[in-house]
Amino acid sequence: VAALVAILAVVPYATAPLEAEFVVLPPLGKLEPNGHLEATEHLFEGDLIGPEALVVDSTGSIITGLADGRIVKVFSKDDGQVTYETLGRTGEEVEGCGADIELEHICGRPLGLKLSQGGKTLLIADGYKGLLEMDLASREISVLATEVEGGPALTLPNAIEETEDGTIYLTDTSTEVRRNRIFWAAISGKSTGRLLKCRRDGGGKCEGLVTEGLFMPNGIVFDHDRRCLLIAMTILGEVKRYCLEGPDKGVMTTFAKNLPGTLDNIHQFTEPKSGKKGYVVGMGAKYAKPFSLLNALQGFPSLRQWIIGLPVPYELNYKLIPPYGMLGFLDAEGQLVQTLQDPTARTSWLSEGIVVNGSLWMGTWLHPWIARRDFTGTVAEKALAAAFE
């Protein structure tokens, strides 16, 4: 028995595929629950698995990328019925795509999306295939970059922003794990993420490193002045700001901190009543009192490495985290002014939210549906209006 206990204590740690490091996470804050997302519809349940990023084209249709590698467009027909069509795939279509995470490198996993060239093309950050571009007329997909000049190849490309001159900024969440082991990056505490600069004529390579040593950078968006990039840091509960011009050019600062969830994608937001500008960020899981597993384990790198090395199904890594549904709304100064929540977790693991034609649409990296909630004239809209006053 003693020998078995010793083996169980030592072997997972010694054989872990990723070393863990000491990490300091922000303290747990207090979260006042509300039920503003409880009346949410789940559309195309079972058909649209993991619609992580959402972009809106000039017709008001929503384009998203799925866990099975598809890029699809969700739109309303003339009779008002909502439907969808497949625009293409970033990988191969094989049995099990979308259901088996171990097939993602074959099927493709589109994460970040960005309309480009006047809406004629779609930039795609695929977690395995690299930085891609789809011609929305021909629906052909070309590879823009899989390598990085002078550094490790793209490992977990995640989100995209683009300047008016065509420079593409890309978050690479980790240089050590792929998308199908992303929770190992969270547990390890290692800051190997990067912000990269890429161009279409880069010969298959992103041209340079903007900054590195980031702990799981995720969503990215320009501020409303288009001077600075805002980057959602998945585990830290922070939004970082990196300015491309002005007095803070080339400097990484903290725009928002102590947010009550793990962060995913971030979008610009304009409160419809007042016209005040801010941002909405998807929060995949709650990071608030009374308890967070990641927070509790932060000072124990050996234990976290032991967890990584356990010979158990990978899915247990996120199934141990209590699900929660939440979007956070920041004002123009980075202050959290309101959250929309579903404490029942029926609508959980949210990646982002956007308001389109009076409805709040929400993506999820995990669940097999795209979410929609009436917004105009609802309690949720009124709560946001009051928060932005």
**Per-residue pLDDT tens over the stretch 207-231:** 989 999 999 999 999 999 999 999 9
pTM: 0.97
What 3-state class would DSSP assign to 29?
strand
The yes-or-no verdict on residue 22 having pLDDT over 80 is yes
As a whole-number percent, the residues of the chain with pLDDT over 90 amount to 94
How many other β-carbons are positioned within 10 Å of the β-carbon of residue 100?
Answer: 15
Confidence tier at 23 by pLDDT (50, 70, 90): very high
Confidence tier at 6 by pLDDT (50, 70, 90): confident
The yes-or-no verdict on residue 163 having pLDDT over 90 is yes
What 3-state class would DSSP assign to 45?
coil
Spatial contact of 193 and 214, defined as CB atoms under 8 Å apart: yes
How many other β-carbons are positioned within 10 Å of the β-carbon of residue 38?
Answer: 15
The yes-or-no verdict on residue 319 having pLDDT over 90 is no
Confidence tier at 357 by pLDDT (50, 70, 90): very high
Give the Cα separation of 387 and 337 in Å (integer): 6
Spatial contact of 363 and 352, defined as CB atoms under 8 Å apart: yes
Q: Is the dihedral of CA 149, 152, 153, 156 positive or negative?
A: negative
- Kindly compute the dihedral angle of the four CA atoms of residues 15, 18, 19, 25, in this order, to the nearest 10 degrees: -140
Q: Which of 107-111, 172-176, 294-298 has the lowest mean pLDDT?
A: 294-298
Task: Estimate the crossing angle of helix 2-15 against helix 301-309, to 10 degrees.
Answer: 90
Spatial contact of 304 and 20, defined as CB atoms under 8 Å apart: yes
The yes-or-no verdict on residue 171 having pLDDT over 90 is yes
Q: What is the mean pLDDT of residues 72-77?
A: 96
Q: What is the mean pLDDT of residues 250-266?
A: 97
How many other β-carbons are positioned within 10 Å of the β-carbon of residue 300?
Answer: 13
At residue 211, φ and ψ (nearest 5 deg) are -160, 155
What 3-state class would DSSP assign to 132?
strand
The pLDDT, as a whole number, for residue 317 is 85
Between the alpha carbon of residue 147 and those of residues 112, 166, 199, 205, 218, the distances in Å are 17, 19, 12, 4, 19
Spatial contact of 374 and 359, defined as CB atoms under 8 Å apart: yes
Strand 204-206 to 208-214 pairing:
unpaired
The pLDDT, as a whole number, for residue 206 is 97
Give the Cα separation of 174 and 157 in Å (integer): 8
Kindly report, residue by residue over 87-113, the tens digit of the pLDDT.
999 999 999 999 999 999 999 999 999
Give the Cα separation of 220 and 251 in Å (integer): 16
Q: How is the chain split among helix, strand and coil, in percent rounded to 5?
A: 15, 40, 45
Average pLDDT, the chain: 96
The yes-or-no verdict on residue 344 having pLDDT over 90 is yes
Kindly report, residue by residue over 377-388, the tens digit of the pLDDT.
999 999 999 999
Confidence tier at 5 by pLDDT (50, 70, 90): confident
Report the number of secondary-structure helices (H) and strands (E) in the chain. Answer: 7, 25
The pLDDT, as a whole number, for residue 3 is 77
**Burial class of residue 195 (count of CB atoms within 10 Å of its CB; 0-12, 13-18, 19+):** buried
How many other β-carbons are positioned within 10 Å of the β-carbon of residue 311?
Answer: 7
Kindly report, residue by residue over 32-64, the tens digit of the pLDDT.
999 999 999 999 999 999 999 999 999 999 999
Look at residues 53, 56, 61 and name the one whose alpha carbon lies nearest to residue 82.
61
